[in-house]
Structure 1
C-alpha cells in the first residue's frame, strides 16, 4: 500500500508514454519482434497484465536491448507491486536510453513506491537536468531532502523554485508542510486544525509521522482526517497500515474493509491487496478476512472477469474446488483473453481428477493461446492420467519446444516424460529424462526425490541418487516423502546407521502412520540386526494400510525379502 504510506504527496503525474515513442524504439528488422511488440500493446489496451508481460518478455528474449519492451514490462511490474523486477526493468531501459525522460519518470515512480529515497534523489537530478522547466521535479527533490533530514537544503530548493518560477500557493503550502516536519508530533493535529487543512494535508502529516516512527501520533491525525472525508479510501488504507504497525490487527482489518467498501477505490488496487494476502492465508481468521474482502470486491464488480478470477483463486486456495471451477468458468465467459484464468481452470480439473474435462478445456484454451507451452504440459498430464501415453509424449515435446526459456516448466515436462516412459517400461529413456529434469531445475527437490527413488528401486547410479536425495533432504527435512527417500537410498547403499537416522526423521514428521515409511524402517532395522523391532515395524506398516505381497511375506516369515 505504498500509495498510502508514502509521504511524497507532491508527486508528478507521469505523462502517458506516446505510442509513437514506444513504436519507434522497436523498429528493428525482425518481423517476430514487431508482431510480439504490437501484440503486447493490444493486450495492454485490454488491461491484460499477464499477456502484456508475456509478449514483451518474448520480445526481450529475441532482443535484450529493446528499451521500449523493458519499459512496458516495468510498468506492469509496478502495477502488480513487483518492485524488484520493476526496478531492474526500468533501470535497464533508462541505461539504454538515458535521455528518455519517460523512462526516468517511471524509475522515479518505482523508487517512490519502494521508499528508496537515495536512488530517487539521483533520478530527480537527472530529470531536472533533462527538463529544467518542470516544477514537479524540484518539489519532489525538496521532499526527498526533507525525508533525509536535509531541511536547509530543502529551503534552498524552495528558494530556487521561487526564483525560477515565482511565488505560488503550492510553494507556500510546501513550505508550511516543511515547517510541520520540524514540529513536535503532539502539536501537529492542533496545527492542522487551526489551518483548516484538507484531507490530503492530514494524510501528508500522517505520512511524516509514520516515517519518523511516531505511529500513535499518526493514528491521531488519521482519526481526525476520516470524518472530514469518510469516502476517501486512502485515509482508510492509511489507518489500516498504522493499526498494523501498532499491533492492532482487528482494527487494521476493519479499516481495510472500510476502504474496500468505497467504490472509488480502484479495482486493480483491491486485487493487488488481496493477492498480497495470499501468502498469509493461514488460520481461520486470515481466511475469513480474505473471504470478506473478496466478497466485497465481487459484490461491487459482479461481472468483472478480474474480480471473478480472484474469487476463484481464493476458493482454490481453500480447496473449495467445485466453487472455484464455477468462478473460473464465469470469468472466462466474460473474457477469454486472460491466460491465468485458463490455467486455473485446467489445473483445478487436473487436481480433482477430472482429466477428460481438463483435456477439453486445454484444447479450447489452445485456440486462444496456441503457442503457450504450459497448456501443452497440462494437456500431456491429463492424457497421461487417461492412459493416452503416445499423445501425451507428443504434447510434452510441444511444451519443451515452446518453453525453451522456462526451465521450471521444462523440468516438470521432463519429469512427466519420465513417468510416462516408466509406464511404457522404457526405463533407460526414463532415466535420461529424469537427469535432464534435474539439470533444467537443480533446486526442484520434488523432482530430485523422484529421480533418486527411481534409481534406488533399480539399484542403479546409487551415488547419483544419494547426491540428489541428500540435497533434497537437507533442504526440506520437514518433508517426510523426501527424508524417506534419502533413507531408502542409504539403505540401498548399505549405510544402515545413516538410513536409520533419516527414516526416523521421516516417521516423526508424519502425523499419521505411513505404511511405506514403516516398511522401510523395518527393513533398515532388520539389517542392523534388530529383528524383533523390524517385525514390529512391518506389522505396523500392514496396520497402516500397506498390503504389498512382499510385506506380508516379511511378516509371515519374519525375514527380509527384496
Structure 2
C-alpha cells in the first residue's frame, strides 16, 4: 500500500507537472501567434503605405490565414480592392470586417460606400441604419441615408430621414428646402408652403427665405398669393430692392400694372439693382403701353429716370426708345436709339430700328445716311443693302442703287425670299437706267425663285408693254397677275395696257372698266381707259375719262393736249 501510494503520488506529480508544462507551452504559443499576426499586419501596412498593393494584399491574406477573424485585415483587403475599383471583390471582406467588429463605425462606412458604388442603394441604406442603431453619436450620417433613399425612390423614407435630421440638429434651410422639394414632388403643395413658412419663422432675419417661398408660389401659378409675403418683407426690410423688383413684376402679371409703378420706380432708380433685371422688368411693362395711355405717361417718367441713373448704358436709351415707339412717338424713339448707338454702335438690332423708322416716315435721305453708317459696322448684312439700295432708287440715284442691290443680292444667297426681292428691285433700277437686258434678266431670276411674285409680275409686264417688246411674254405675266389678284385695280390696269399694246382694245376696255369700278381709280387708270375707248371710236366717252383723269391727277404730260384736241396722242 505504501508503495502504491508513493507511485500514485509520483504519477500525480508527473501529471501536474506535465499539465503545467503544457499550459506554459500553450500560453507561449498564443503570445507567439499574436506577435506573428502583429508582425504580418505591420509588414502589410508598410507595403500599403508605399502603395505596393500587390505585396500588401499578400501580407494581409497571410494575416487572415493566421487569424481568419481579424477585422483589420479584412478591412484593409477591402480598401485595396476599392482603390483598384474591384468593388465586387471588396464587398465580402468589408462585410466580414463589420461582422468581426460591429462596434467600429469605419467598417460600416466602408461597407456602405461599396454598396453605393455598386448601386446597391438599398443595402447601403440598410448599412447606415445599422451603424446609427449600433453606435451612438453617428447621426451625422443621416444626410447620406436620406440621399440614398431618394436615389432608391423611397420618397417617404427620405422625408422621414430629413425629419430625423431636423430632430437631431435643428432646423436648417438646406434640409427645409429638400423637404419642400419632396412635398411638391408628392403633390402636397400646401404642406410645402407650411414648411417654407416654418423656415421663415425660424430665420426671421433672413429675407431670402421669403423669396424662396415666393418662387415656390410663382412656380405653382399662385402669383396673387405671393404678393402679401413680399409686402410683409418690405415692411421688415424696407431697403430690400429685390422685393420691389418682384412686386413690380407680380402686379403686372396680375393685371395691376398701375399698382406696380411705385415699386418699378424704386427698383429702376436703385443703383444696386442689376441693369439687366431692370430692363427685363421694363420690357414687360412696355408691352402694355398700346392699350394704356396713363401707363405710357408713367413709364416715360420711369424710363427717363433709368437713363438718368445709367447715363453711360446704351441699353437704357434702347429701352427708352422702345417705350416711345410703342407709345407712337417714332421720332422720339429714333432720337433715343441714335443716342444708344453713339455709345455702343455694335447693336445691330438698334440700327434696324432706326432705319425702320426712317423708312416708315419715308425719309429716304436719312435711310441712306443711317444704312451707310451701319454698313461700316455690319458690311455683311444683306438687309441694310436692301434699305440702302431701295432708298437710293426712290431718290432716283439708279447707278448707286444697282451697286447696293447687287451687293445685297450676293449676301442673300441663303435667303431665297430676300434674294427674290433684290432681283425684283434690280429689274426696276436697270429699267430706269434703260439697261433693258439686265432688267429683264433680273426679273426672270426673281420669277425663277417665285413665279407668283406679284411685284415682279406687275412691273415686268408693264415695262415690257411700255417698251412694246416681248409682248406675248408680257401677256403671260399679266394674265397670271390678274388670276392671282382679280380685284386689284392696279393689276387690272397693267394687264389692260399689255392687251392695248397688242391691239386687243375691247379686252383691254373690259379690264379697265373693272379697274375703274373698283372705286377711287388713279389718274393713270382713267387716262388709260380714255385711250382705249378712243381706240374703239368712243370719243365722247374717252373725253369724259380723260377729264376725270385731269381732276384726279397723276396723268401723263399729254393729257391736256388730248382733251383740247379731242385726239389721242402717245409717246413715241
Q: Which one of 537, 541, 554 corresponds to residue 546 of structure 1?
A: 554
In the alignment, the residues of structure 2 paired with residue 546 and residue 442 of structure 1 have an alpha-carbon distance, to the nearest angstrom, of 30
- Count of residues in Structure 1 that have an aligned counterpart in Structure 2: 382
Are the structure 2 counterparts of residues 236 and 413 from structure 1 closer, same or farther at C-alpha, using a change threshold of 3 Å? same
Q: Which one of 429, 436, 460 corresponds to residue 427 of structure 1?
A: 436
Query: Does structure 2 retain, via aligned residues, the 8 Å contact 1:374–1:399?
Result: yes
Query: Does structure 2 retain, via aligned residues, the 8 Å contact 1:325–1:345?
Result: yes
Matched, 1:466 2:471: no
In the alignment, the residues of structure 2 paired with residue 447 and residue 551 of structure 1 have an alpha-carbon distance, to the nearest angstrom, of 28
Deviation at 1:270, TM superposition (A): 5.7
* 1:186-201 mapped onto 2 (5 Å cutoff): 198-201=210-213
* 1:210-289 mapped onto 2 (5 Å cutoff): 218-219=223-224, 221-223=226-228, 225-229=230-234, 231=241, 232=243, 233-243=245-255, 251-252=256-257, 254-255=259-260, 258-259=263-264, 262-263=267-268, 267-268=275-276, 271=279, 285=293
Query: Does structure 2 retain, via aligned residues, the 8 Å contact 1:376–1:395?
Result: yes
Are the structure 2 counterparts of residues 169 and 225 from structure 1 closer, same or farther at C-alpha, using a change threshold of 3 Å? same
Aligned residue for 1:419, secondary structure, equals: helix
Deviation at 1:306, TM superposition (A): 2.3
Are the structure 2 counterparts of residues 499 and 200 from structure 1 closer, same or farther at C-alpha, using a change threshold of 3 Å? farther
Cα-to-partner distance string for 1:7-38 (whole Å, 9 max, x where unaligned):
xxxxxxxxxxxxxxxxxxxxxxxxxxxxxxxx
Are the structure 2 counterparts of residues 319 and 419 from structure 1 closer, same or farther at C-alpha, using a change threshold of 3 Å? farther
Matched, 1:484 2:486: no
Q: Residue 417 of structure 1 aligns with which residue?
A: 426
* 1:439-454 mapped onto 2 (5 Å cutoff): 439-440=448-449, 446=455, 449-451=458-460, 453-454=462-463
Are the structure 2 counterparts of residues 180 and 553 from structure 1 closer, same or farther at C-alpha, using a change threshold of 3 Å? farther
Q: Which one of 343, 365, 372 corresponds to residue 334 of structure 1?
A: 343
Q: Give the structure with higher Rg (CA).
A: 2
Deviation at 1:405, TM superposition (A): 1.4
Deviation at 1:164, TM superposition (A): 11
In the alignment, the residues of structure 2 paired with residue 392 and residue 429 of structure 1 have an alpha-carbon distance, to the nearest angstrom, of 14
Q: Residue 378 of structure 2 aligns with which residue?
A: 369
Q: Residue 54 of structure 2 aligns with which residue?
A: none
Are the structure 2 counterparts of residues 174 and 538 from structure 1 closer, same or farther at C-alpha, using a change threshold of 3 Å? farther
Are the structure 2 counterparts of residues 240 and 533 from structure 1 closer, same or farther at C-alpha, using a change threshold of 3 Å? farther
In the alignment, the residues of structure 2 paired with residue 410 and residue 311 of structure 1 have an alpha-carbon distance, to the nearest angstrom, of 34
Matched, 1:393 2:402: yes
Deviation at 1:399, TM superposition (A): 2.0
Deviation at 1:523, TM superposition (A): 7.5
In the alignment, the residues of structure 2 paired with residue 385 and residue 206 of structure 1 have an alpha-carbon distance, to the nearest angstrom, of 53
In the alignment, the residues of structure 2 paired with residue 361 and residue 222 of structure 1 have an alpha-carbon distance, to the nearest angstrom, of 46
Query: Does structure 2 retain, via aligned residues, the 8 Å contact 1:206–1:222?
Result: no
Cα-to-partner distance string for 1:233-262 (whole Å, 9 max, x where unaligned):
23332332232xxxxxxx345537844652
Stretch moving more, 158-167 or 412-421: 158-167
Q: Which runs of 5+ in 2 are unaligned?
A: 1-118, 120-149, 166-174, 202-208, 235-239, 500-506
Q: Residue 176 of structure 2 aligns with which residue?
A: 169
Cα-to-partner distance string for 1:447-487 (whole Å, 9 max, x where unaligned):
5554455456555522223324544x48xx8xxxxx22222
Aligned residue for 1:172, secondary structure, equals: helix
* 1:67-146 mapped onto 2 (5 Å cutoff): none
Query: Does structure 2 retain, via aligned residues, the 8 Å contact 1:487–1:500?
Result: no
In the alignment, the residues of structure 1 paired with residue 374 and residue 355 of structure 2 have an alpha-carbon distance, to the nearest angstrom, of 9
Q: CA RMSD in A?
A: 5.2
In the alignment, the residues of structure 1 paired with residue 297 and residue 534 of structure 2 have an alpha-carbon distance, to the nearest angstrom, of 50
Deviation at 1:424, TM superposition (A): 1.0
Higher RCO (CA < 8 A, seq sep 6+): 1
Q: Residue 301 of structure 1 aligns with which residue?
A: 310
Deviation at 1:308, TM superposition (A): 1.8
Deviation at 1:329, TM superposition (A): 3.1
Q: Which one of 380, 394, 407 corresponds to residue 416 of structure 2?
A: 407
Stretch moving more, 274-283 or 308-317: 274-283
